[in-house]
Amino acid sequence: MTSSPEQPASPQNPALSPSHLDFPVVGIGASAGGLEAIRTFFQQMPGDCDMAFVVVLHLSPDHQSVADRIIQEATSMPVRQVTEPVPIERNHVYVISPANRLSTNDGYLRVTPANRRRGDHVAIDLFFRDLADVHKDHAFCVVLSGTGADGAVGLSRIKEQGGVTLVQTPDDAQYDSMPRAAIETGMVDLVLPAAEMPQKLMELWRTARQVKLPEIEDDTLPPPLGTRAGDAQAAEPLLEEILLQLRSATGHDFQHYKRATVLRRIERRLHVTGQTDLGGYLRYLEQHSSEATALLGDMLIGVTNFFRDREAFESLERHVLPQLVSEGEDNREIRVWSAGCSTGEEAYSLAMLVSEQLALEQRASKVQVFATDLDERAIGVARMGSYPEAILPTCRPPACASSLSRKISITGCARKSGKRSCSPVTTCCPTRRSRRST
């Protein structure tokens, strides 16, 4: 069943209401040198593009932003600095007030006092995350010139939820730290000069409107950008061929994945590759050897956060861990397995819970967490155990704000070409990377 304004879907975050908009919302993040890139961008974007744009800039909260006036000189679309709740309209540009945090929910933009320490640069990440969770595959994001790494975490969420990610070519950016940090995530779809991004966004939107896929039974999705109609069984032969082609090229078999998940991942690839139906995409897959790797990357994308499933973690904390920790000898080893751990947030969340329970029970047991996943890139991130400050809103205090009080051994395993590769990581806590400008 598809979403509709009368039957809203439930987004991943229960505090957020799903989008009912039938057009893309483009989030644009920039910092130092970004105003010039933004002006170039809007000079090339037609005023009747049928998209909405939200610009989040790192500007001093002590100074009134002039970004809205600068952008207005470059576009015929109305430009509005957001100081109060406003509905999102197509062919409009919205700019964050520098002293506020911008969020999106139920088709509106809202602002709240930022309440951040001077030097904390996470505004773009926080907005991109809300944009992804509310607008799903209707969300596009653009990272432009800037220092620091804000936007990289939120950009990853955009791609996880089915949106498309664009980053300014580092050589085209006045300051390349933000673009490079985004590219290093491995979650960027397109890297382009600022002047070429508007044309690519128009192409993506044009393709999205022409896409024809079977009905996707997922009531968490906003209204489709293209057409979803027809019997899913009729498309099964084409889906089988695509999955067989993927298995032949990569060795990974997704035949038993939920069809709704498979269709959503393939739909994202249709947008990026310019295809409009499953038959066209199968031909593209057969003719472009690199596309199998790209499709595999999309299939393996894991939507994850620290303590993501709150109810499950609370149940574990109340009903399982007390008994697990209190029973047996004081010096026995406790082993935990996090299967499908993605980039490691779940494994570290489990480690934090066990550590807190051990401290509560005043036990000295050793703890070993095994974390496994098919995605070697994700396991590499998990092994590093280093996360940006933008994770803090998703992490429960005091777990992420302080170090764990004991050593916990975490072993990360990935499977490549049918072989399992494991390496141990001994950590006291997943560390926070500073997001301050350099």
Relative to beta strand 100-105, strand 108-113 is: antiparallel
Rounded to 5 degrees, φ, ψ at 368 are -130, 125
Strand boundaries in 119-203, DSSP class E: 139-143, 164-168, 190-192
DSSP designation for 19: P
* Structural contact between residues 272 and 225, judged by C-beta atoms closer than 8 angstroms: no
Say if residue 398 is preceded by a cis peptide, omega within 30 of 0: yes
- Phi and psi based region of residue 298 (left: phi greater than 0; alpha: psi -120 to 50; beta: remaining): alpha
Write down the pLDDT at residue 394: 57
Alpha-carbon gap, residue 226 to 106, rounded angstroms: 21
* 3-class DSSP state of 390: helix
Domain ranges for the chain: 25-206, 231-299, 310-433
Q: Please state the rounded mean pLDDT for residues 139-148.
A: 94
Beta bridge partners of 369: 336, 410
Q: Which amino acid is at 78?
A: P
The stretch 179-184 carries a mean pLDDT of 92
> In this prediction, what percent of the chain has a pLDDT beyond 70?
76
Residue 175: what pLDDT? 94
Tell the CATH topology of 25-206.
Rossmann fold (3.40.50)
Average pLDDT on 209-231 reads 74
pLDDT tens-digit map of 146-172: 998 889 889 988 998 889 999 999 999
Residue 168's DSSP bridge partners are 192
For residue 137, give both structure tokens: 């595959």
Structure tokens at 226: 């293209």
Task: Find, among 158, 150, 149, 226, the residue nearest to 189 by Cα.
Answer: 158
Domain 231-299: which topology?
Chemotaxis Receptor Methyltransferase Cher; domain 1 (1.10.155)
Report the alpha-carbon distance of residue 372 to residue 414 in Å, rounded. Answer: 6
pLDDT number for residue 44: 97
What torsion do the CA atoms of 29, 35, 40, 42 make, to the nearest 10 degrees?
Answer: 60
DSSP-assigned letters across all residues of 274-336 = T--SHHHHHHHHHH-HHHHHHHHHHHT-----TT-SHHHHHHIIIIIHHHHHHSS-TT-EEEE
For the entire predicted model, the pTM comes to 0.75
CB of 151 closer than 8 Å to CB of 138:
no
- Per-residue pLDDT for 388 more than 70? no
Check residue 79 and give its pLDDT.
96
Containing H/E element for 337? strand 333-339
Whether the predicted pLDDT of 28 surpasses 90: yes
- 355 near 406, Cβ under 8 Å? yes
Backbone angles phi, psi at 160, to 5 degrees: -55, -35
pLDDT digits (tens, 9 = 90+) for 238-269: 999 999 999 999 998 998 888 888 888 999 99
